[in-house]
């Protein structure tokens, strides 16, 4: 029997990005909180978010306009109530961030007064993007993390990976509750447990399931997989957003070129210098991401080109450097001066639009379990996420979850004790290359067969191979001791299966899901919902 440590708290938050940190700060005055961070506390998708956060601050803009832009970008598959809820709470949420100290850019008018500088991104009809230069996510992450570190009611568990949620059935209880989680202490390499009145999944998305992604290594779909195994429903897993403009350079993997650059007038060009977006959409470079990504993919395949190009050299150098200092510095580091040279770009898996189904307060179909941020399906994004709605969703729904938790805290009983983890019948895996090879194989399958353009033949081929990998991984999990790579692979295989099964359910092309066998968009459609039906996996 392994020497385990058992912990107890009021609320366990799995994930330390914008959603998790916001929830923690919103409840910690009255609730004891443990935040689980799989890697370094600052690591995560929030840190790398460049563009900004959408909210109506301009008197010429309106909540209704924000709603309509989101519905259009979502290819008429958004939940209108969720969209309106998010847009109508956007300004309040941004004011909360401002009160925390997030340094959004400001400009000074001729009369000396200051106002927030608003930029525009694809899908938006107005300038409504608050930003901190081109590193908004970093500003949000570092500001909130500083607040969290100084709060006496918040404990930070760094380098801990959630292994599985603890359901009532695991404790031989006849209820629908989640009572905590088993966790993997990466520092001491042992399984521990946390009992909690409430558990919130804020684990981010699953873009690491693809070979090429803009996401950090930790984006392995952990929350989605754990929730599914615990009995949660998921929706719209077929809609994986590919960011159109990831820097194509051997020395700069996973680096995005912000959509805000196109918002400020950058052009997309073929290798011969000609523009191509006017051939695909009247909105040209400001078309929604799914359209732009498919256009780039189409031109690359048509021309046999390794990449396309993003060009902002027609703007004044000082303008480019002031508005995009992070991008300018990163490109300069690899020998590319974006004030004089075009930027080579390719699409990369970027955002998981589907996820664990929740209501407007982040509640899942399991009692005491919340899901907030990219891990969740709230109905906001539909078939395609509009730029700068993602960090917004994190803040708005974290506040909603906080209100729900605080309103039921007094009536929530203490959680039951969780049994010690038993690994007495497993052995240590001697060769990690087995895990890394399987991991690479899975991600390549997803990239080749379940990417920007799909077909039923490709999807069925992918599912067949995923089933074989899944059998191998389940055998690994039952035979060998827990490791971080094994946990992530186990989750990625399950998420890959959910994506493919969801894609096979949709008999049309809509938004981010384009199937050569069903190229038309149906007159009306509904979300793709998968249900575990009491089984641990599909």
What span, in angstroms and rounded, lies between the C-alpha atoms of 23 and 394?
Answer: 9
The CA–CA distances, whole Å, from 487 to 37, 248, 355, 480, 529 equal 15, 30, 19, 11, 25
Pairing type for strands 6-14 and 114-116 reads unpaired
β-sheet bridge partners, residue 115:
107
- Rounded Cα distance, 244 and 213, in Å: 11
Residue 58 φ then ψ, to 5°:
-85, 135
Q: What is the Cα–Cα distance from 359 to 85, expressed in whole angstroms?
A: 11
54 close to 388: Cβ distance less than 8 angstroms: yes
| CA separation for the pair 441, 159 (Å, rounded) | 26
Instruction: Output DSSP code: residue 417.
Output: P
State the number of CA atoms in the 13 A half-sphere of 193 facing the CB. 20
192: left (phi over 0), alpha (psi -120 to 50) or beta: beta
What long-range pairs does 58-63 form, CB within 8 A, spacing at least 24? 58/118, 58/126, 58/127, 58/128, 60/126, 61/126, 61/127, 61/128, 63/87, 63/88, 63/90
Which residues lie across from 464 on neighbouring strands? Answer: none
Burial of 379 (0-12, 13-18, 19+ CB in 10 A): buried
User: Taking the alpha carbons of 143, 13, 370, 527 in that order, is the dihedral positive or negative?
Assistant: positive
Q: Which helix (H) or strand (E) holds 225?
A: helix 222-229
Non-local (6+) Cβ contacts of 92 within 8 A are none
Strands 190-201 and 369-371: parallel
Dihedral angle computed from the Cα positions of residues 319, 325, 330 and 331, in that order, rounded to the nearest 10 degrees? 0
C-alpha 86/C-alpha 83 separation (Å) is: 5
Q: Which residues are catalytic?
A: 289
Token digits for 440?
């690479």
């Amino acid at each position: 029997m392994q020497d385990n440590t058992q912990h107890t708290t009021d609320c366990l938050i799995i994930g330390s990005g914008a959603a998790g940190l916001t929830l923690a700060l919103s409840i910690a005055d009255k609730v004891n909180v443990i935040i689980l961070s799989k890697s370094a506390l600052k690591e995560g998708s929030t840190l790398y978010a460049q563009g900004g956060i959408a909210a109506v601050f301009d008197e010429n803009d309106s909540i209704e306009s924000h709603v309509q832009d989101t519905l259009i970008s979502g290819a008429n598959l958004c939940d209108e109530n969720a969209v309106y809820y998010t847009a109508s709470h956007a300004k309040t949420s941004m004011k909360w961030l401002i009160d925390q100290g997030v340094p959004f850019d400001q400009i000074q008018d001729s009369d000396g007064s200051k106002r927030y500088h608003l930029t525009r991104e694809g899908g938006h009809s107005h300038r409504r993007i608050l930003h901190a230069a081109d590193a908004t996510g970093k500003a949000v992450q570092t500001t909130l993390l500083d607040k969290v570190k100084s709060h006496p009611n918040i404990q930070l568990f760094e380098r801990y990976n959630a292994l599985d949620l603890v359901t009532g059935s695991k404790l031989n209880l006849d209820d629908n509750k989640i009572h905590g989680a088993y966790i993997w202490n990466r520092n001491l390499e042992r399984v521990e447990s946390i009992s909690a009145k409430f558990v919130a999944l804020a684990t981010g998305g699953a873009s690491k399931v693809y070979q090429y992604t803009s996401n950090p290594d930790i984006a392995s779909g952990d929350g989605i997989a754990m929730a599914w195994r615990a009995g949660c429903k998921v929706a719209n897993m077929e809609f994986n957003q590919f960011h159109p403009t990831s820097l194509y350079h051997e020395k700069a993997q996973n680096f995005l070129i912000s959509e805000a650059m196109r918002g400020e007038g950058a052009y997309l060009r073929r290798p011969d210098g000609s523009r191509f977006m006017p051939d695909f959409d009247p909105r040209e470079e400001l078309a929604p991401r799914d359209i732009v990504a498919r256009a780039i993919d189409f031109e690359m395949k048509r021309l046999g080109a390794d990449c396309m190009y993003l060009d902002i050299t027609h703007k004044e150098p000082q303008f480019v450097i002031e508005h995009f200092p992070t991008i300018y510095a990163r490109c300069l580091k690899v020998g590319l001066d974006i004030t004089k040279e075009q930027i080579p770009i390719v699409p990369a898996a970027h955002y998981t639009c589907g996820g664990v189904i929740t209501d407007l307060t982040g509640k899942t179909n399991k009692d005491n379990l919340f899901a907030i941020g990219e891990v969740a399906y709230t109905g906001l994004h539909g078939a395609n996420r509009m730029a700068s709605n993602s960090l917004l969703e994190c803040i708005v729904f974290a506040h909603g979850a906080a209100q729900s938790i605080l309103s039921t805290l007094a009536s929530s009983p203490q959680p039951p004790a969780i049994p010690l983890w038993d690994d007495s019948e497993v052995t240590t895996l001697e060769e990690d290359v087995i895990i890394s090879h399987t991991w690479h194989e899975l991600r390549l399958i997803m990239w080749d067969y379940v990417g920007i353009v799909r077909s039923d033949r490709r999807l069925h081929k992918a599912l067949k191979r995923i089933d074989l990998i899944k059998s191998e991984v389940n055998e690994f999990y039952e035979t060998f001791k827990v490791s971080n790579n094994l946990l992530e692979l186990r989750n990625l295989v399950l998420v890959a299966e959910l994506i493919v099964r969801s894609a096979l359910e949709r008999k049309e092309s809509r938004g981010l899901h384009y199937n050569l066998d069903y190229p038309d968009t149906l007159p009306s459609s509904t979300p793709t919902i998968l249900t575990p039906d009491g089984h641990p996996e599909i």
